[in-house]
A and B are shown apart, each in its own frame.
Chain A
Amino acid sequence: MTRAMEQYLRKGLKGTAFCPGCGHGLLLGSILRAVDRLGIPQDDLLFVSGIGCAAWIPSPNIGTDTLHTLHGRAIPFATGAKLANPKLTTIIASGDGDLTSIGGNHLIHAARRDLDVTVICANNQIYGMTGGQTACTTPVGTHTATDPAGNVFRPFDVCRLVKAAGARYAARYPVTRPVELIDAIEKAIRIKGFTFVEAISPCPTQYGRRNALGDLAKLYEAVDASCVTAEEAARLGEDERRRRFVVGEVVS
């Protein structure tokens, strides 16, 4: 983190809990840069998260009001906090398992209601903190602690899911493309209503190790290579496309 962003970090922190090479640190930097650009007073910012590695992005790292809640329930907690004090710029930052599996129902209902919040989903495609179990975002064929022979179920396309539920803005970028990611987060916070940003975030400890994706440099290269634009995806065959993340603005 550059010194310019230090004002947003909580005083008294003694380092982060993230594993070496975790993409969530990069996502934290992207979120803070977007917030900084918007110039929102820190006292008006509320970050809400659920449980899991990504729930630690705001809590305790960000030095604003933070609400670190139960597994899957960040969005309903944020719903109450936002409705009771609409002046709060309310940002929910949590993981893919938290927001789209156990919390999937809350996600689609918040989008349907057009709750004025921004949801940032750190998608590492696996349950990191509990030991690498299959998530509803795990790609077909990849290995996890609970699917050692390879996952057979289709993953959610979360951006399309929230689009169908009525999101005003939805975008997906990997943490390896911070310029686009920061722009998307900034835009999402600026738009009034329910907005959603999915950040593809590498998990070296669980996902990378179980799928033999190599050292950190190779893992980051592989993640970046798996991200294609809609135009690039259109040129790919169906099997090829299934193994890629289509990045860009899904609703804008």
Chain B
Amino acid sequence: MAEPKRKERPAAQLLQGNVAAAEAAIRAGCRFFAGYPITPSSEIMVRMAELLRERGGAFMQMEDEIASICAVAGASWSGAKAMTATSGPGFSLMQEGLGYAYFTETPLVLIDVQRAGPATGQATHVAQGDVMQFRYGSHGDLFPIALVPWSVQEMYDLTIRAFNLAERFRTPVFLAADEAVGHLRENAVLHDDYEVVDRVRFGDGDPFGSADPAGVPVMPAFGDGRALMVTGSTHDPKGFRKVDDPNVHDALVTRLMRKVMDHADEIVEVDAHLLDDAEIGIVAYGISARTSIAAVKRLRAKGVKAGLLRLKTLWPFPEREIARLGERVRAIVVPELNKGMIAGVVRGCTRARVLSITQTNGKTIDPSRVVRFAEEMS
């Protein structure tokens, strides 16, 4: 009898980050994409147009970003895994639609490839200035999920994870990419040994309520015969608008918070490098974590005990991991491509000394800046 063929792991290939994200979306089951061109995210849309044509599904270049996010939410309610991609100014336009998707518990994935702002800023240059827009961009109390890739491989891996989390928690999930990672070209493996989470579409229970106060309700699709009432106004578990009932509003907002925050352990991922004996802890994310790992290596070669805590999840914020780090190191350094947005959040999680390295010139931080900074401190 012939030996069964062993499934071979696909070979690594040279890929752009944005293209890897599009490939991942298709493999995670995405069958709808709507978007509007904006640098530096457009390669995602262009690749999705090709892939959806080849693999089946619907692609629509909409008239603007507002229409794009609304179309993605509409497609999700028709049962499709759906995605859009954009950058800062487009992300701002999408905030109202994202709030709607959050409040109606509509799974979708949004990739924001950050560029330098405010306003139209520097369209082709890198920044990490949208990190608060993921968290606080839309009005009302929202508890979003945002993952942050640092490599082309993670543009692939974390896009798949974003779809899985969107379906698992029935909520919009962000991929907080940046221009440098989106436009980076490096080897990545488009592997297929991952779990794919599908929507719980059929089952008992109401479409907007759950017996568990942190529960995720079933989500039937349009056409399933459930006469769904979907509204962005305050609604009861069946979907009836109940805008004047304080208890209904509070229960809904609280459940949506607990649905994410009570499961933070399942969502939050960090990556520790050389932290066991570290005296200086660097906390970084995205392309600035690439800078930081290079700096850690140089510092170690000079005898400075530095280590890196890399954030793979930005929101919910890895508060507990930061607190633990703060107990072990003399100081925490946070290099980032904005004026210290995440450094401020880190300060709220620890009594340790937190120092911020900021850069807003459209360039990545050179590792030598982090090395010099850490040397002066030690």
Interface residues of A (CB under 8 A from B): 10, 12, 42-44, 46, 48, 59-60, 63-70, 73, 75-85, 87-88, 105-106, 109
- Cβ contacts A to B, 17 pairs, < 8 Å: A12-B240, A60-B240, A63-B227, A66-B229, A67-B74, A67-B230, A73-B67, A76-B74, A77-B70, A79-B34, A80-B34, A81-B74, A82-B78, A83-B78, A84-B32, A105-B64, A106-B67
Bound CA span A119–B77, Å: 19
CB within 8 A of A85: which of B60, B72, B97, B221? B221
Report yes or no: A70 in contact with B230, Cβ–Cβ below 8 A. Answer: no
In the complex, chain A residues whose CB is within 8 Å of the CB of B96: 70
In the complex, chain A residues whose CB is within 8 Å of the CB of B82: 80, 84
Bound CA span A75–B66, Å: 11
Report yes or no: A83 in contact with B32, Cβ–Cβ below 8 A. Answer: yes
Chain A CB within 10 Å, residue with most, of B34, B229, B232 = B229
Bound CA span A80–B84, Å: 12
Given A77-B74, A80-B78, A84-B32, A68 and B223 touching (CB < 8 A)?
no
CB within 8 A of A76: which of B70, B222, B227, B230? B70
Report yes or no: B227 in contact with A68, Cβ–Cβ below 8 A. Answer: no
Report yes or no: A73 in contact with B60, Cβ–Cβ below 8 A. Answer: no
Report yes or no: B230 in contact with A88, Cβ–Cβ below 8 A. Answer: no
Q: B65 to nearest A CB, angstroms?
A: 10
Report yes or no: B70 in contact with A70, Cβ–Cβ below 8 A. Answer: yes
Chain B residue at smallest Cβ distance from A112: B63
Report yes or no: B227 in contact with A65, Cβ–Cβ below 8 A. Answer: yes
Q: A33 to nearest B CB, angstroms?
A: 19
Bound CA span A63–B31, Å: 28
Query: Is B79 engaged at the interface, CB distance under 8 Å to the other chain?
Result: yes
Report yes or no: A59 in contact with B231, Cβ–Cβ below 8 A. Answer: yes
CB within 8 A of B71: which of A44, A80, A105? A80
Given A76-B74, A80-B71, A81-B77, A70 and B32 touching (CB < 8 A)?
no
Chain A residue at smallest Cβ distance from B70: A76
Query: Is B257 engaged at the interface, CB distance under 8 Å to the other chain?
Result: no
Bound CA span A64–B62, Å: 27
Given A43-B225, A109-B63, A76 and B71 touching (CB < 8 A)?
yes
Chain B residue at smallest Cβ distance from A87: B223
Report yes or no: A59 in contact with B229, Cβ–Cβ below 8 A. Answer: yes
Bound CA span A66–B80, Å: 17
Report yes or no: B240 in contact with A88, Cβ–Cβ below 8 A. Answer: no
In the complex, chain A residues whose CB is within 8 Å of the CB of B72: 80
Given A42-B227, A59-B231, A70-B232, A81 and B97 touching (CB < 8 A)?
no
Query: Is B145 engaged at the interface, CB distance under 8 Å to the other chain?
Result: no
Q: A11 to nearest B CB, angstroms?
A: 8
Determine chain B's interface SS by DSSP, over half rule.
Answer: mixed
Chain A residue at smallest Cβ distance from B74: A80
Report yes or no: B228 in contact with A84, Cβ–Cβ below 8 A. Answer: no
Q: A155 to nearest B CB, angstroms?
A: 23
Chain A residue at smallest Cβ distance from B66: A73
Query: Is B226 engaged at the interface, CB distance under 8 Å to the other chain?
Result: yes
Bound CA span A65–B62, Å: 24
Query: Is B273 engaged at the interface, CB distance under 8 Å to the other chain?
Result: no
Query: Is B274 engaged at the interface, CB distance under 8 Å to the other chain?
Result: no
Bound CA span A59–B227, Å: 11
Query: Is B282 engaged at the interface, CB distance under 8 Å to the other chain?
Result: no
Bound CA span A60–B222, Å: 15
CB within 8 A of A88: which of B63, B76, B78, B97? B78
Q: A111 to nearest B CB, angstroms?
A: 11
Query: Is B208 engaged at the interface, CB distance under 8 Å to the other chain?
Result: no
Query: Is B290 engaged at the interface, CB distance under 8 Å to the other chain?
Result: no
In the complex, chain B residues whose CB is within 8 Å of the CB of A66: 227-231
Chain A residue at smallest Cβ distance from B34: A80
Chain A residue at smallest Cβ distance from B240: A60
Bound CA span A76–B71, Å: 5
In the complex, chain B residues whose CB is within 8 Å of the CB of A88: 78, 222-223
Report yes or no: A80 in contact with B70, Cβ–Cβ below 8 A. Answer: yes
Report yes or no: A79 in contact with B71, Cβ–Cβ below 8 A. Answer: yes
In the A-B complex, the 10 residue pairs with the smallest Cβ-Cβ separation, listed nearest first, are A80-B74, A80-B71, A80-B75, A84-B78, A84-B75, A76-B70, A76-B67, A81-B74, A85-B78, A68-B231
Q: B118 to nearest A CB, angstroms?
A: 24
Bound CA span A88–B97, Å: 22
Query: Is B156 engaged at the interface, CB distance under 8 Å to the other chain?
Result: no
Q: B187 to nearest A CB, angstroms?
A: 34
Bound CA span A12–B67, Å: 33
Could you mark each residue 227-258 of chain B with 1 if its beta carbon is under 8 Å from any beta carbon of chain A, else 0? Answer: 11111110000111100000000000000000
Q: A73 to nearest B CB, angstroms?
A: 5
Report yes or no: A68 in contact with B240, Cβ–Cβ below 8 A. Answer: no
Chain A residue at smallest Cβ distance from B71: A80
In the complex, chain B residues whose CB is within 8 Å of the CB of A77: 70-71, 73-74
Report yes or no: B70 in contact with A83, Cβ–Cβ below 8 A. Answer: no
Could you mark each residue 194-230 of chain B with 1 if its beta carbon is under 8 Å from any beta carbon of chain A, else 0? Answer: 0000000000000000000000000001111111111
